[in-house]
Amino acid sequence: MFGYVRAVTSVLSPEDAQRYEAVYCGLCRTLGNRYGKTAQLILNYDFVFLALLLAKPEGEGTFPCCPCPVHPWRKKTCWLGSPALDEAADATVILTWWKLQDAIRDGGLWEQGKSRAAALALRRHYRTAAARRPAFDHTVQTCLEELHQLEVANTPSLDQPADTFARILQAAGAETGLAARTHGVEQILYHVGRWIYLADAWDDLAQDRKEGNYNPLLARYGDQAETAEAPLRETMHVSLGLAKTAFSLLDWGQWEGLLGHILSTGLPAVEEAVFTGQWKERNRPFHHHQGAALPADPRDKENNSL
């Protein structure tokens, strides 16, 4: 939902960098195949991470060369044929739909107008995705309503809204057929989700203060919100540590190096960029996030932005 969960492609091994790009392109193509070309516009790095988590460690799918909608003169290696991609694509559509509904309810006039137009284009695809994953759709709707009530109450708690958001991502962990694996994936998603919420709270602090929006840091610390950096980063480190502990208990097969890199290198790099003000500033003209020393879009290699 936010695009914070990224690899630092400039320091990946060539093999893992190629795999990362193949998953990104494969999810893009899966969105197009399942929901049409307009759905490819909502592709998000967080769901590339989800697809990797849901992939079977013993290996599945193929790696064909596919046309790229962004660079039509070139073919890209795509990872295709995995149920993990289908699950990630469905989750992408459902979460985007409810995020748009939230913006329609709480956003300003300009944001409401844009969100209504986007929701209209996505409505048919959302209904299809919700029919495929009704339990996840229900959880997202329920948790977002819970978040809305916490915001209306100006809840002076970091943990309550972070927990509610984390439960949304936790629910994206589809059944894997093995109880221990499902639990491990859900634990990783929960703690990464909590980390995302807290990172976004800091990233939006100045804007939320200016526009009078709810922000748990403002609700708890008021004008002294910036002094909360140390305890905020400490709790984010705890969440990330718990995610890495859950990760270490499972076999990830061919994806182990890439997933371990995202958790141990990618998220800390994003955190540093968020708290030093580089993240939002650098990505202002774009969808939300790109970076030089920061995690970057693998397609940027063609533009020498790494």
Give the domain CATH number at 33: 1.10.600
Asked, for residue 294, whether it belongs to a domain, the answer is no
- Look at residue 291 in the predicted model and tell me its pLDDT: 33
Distance CA 205, CA 214 (A): 9
- Look at residue 284 in the predicted model and tell me its pLDDT: 42
Distance CA 197, CA 66 (A): 35
- Look at residue 1 in the predicted model and tell me its pLDDT: 56
Asked, for residue 298, whether it belongs to a domain, the answer is no
Asked, for residue 20, whether it belongs to a domain, the answer is yes
Per the structure, how many domains does the chain have? 1
Inter-axis angle of helices 109-132 and 134-152, nearest 10:
150
> What stretch of H or E contains 66?
strand 65-67
- Averages of pLDDT over runs of 10 residues in the chain (306 residues) are 88 92 95 92 93 89 86 86 94 94 84 90 96 96 95 96 96 76 94 97 94 95 95 97 97 94 97 92 43 41 32
pTM listed for this prediction: 0.89
> Which domain does 273 fall in, by range?
9-285
Asked, for residue 45, whether it belongs to a domain, the answer is yes
Asked, for residue 301, whether it belongs to a domain, the answer is no
Asked, for residue 210, whether it belongs to a domain, the answer is yes
- Look at residue 57 in the predicted model and tell me its pLDDT: 87
203 CB neighbour count, 10 Å cutoff: 21
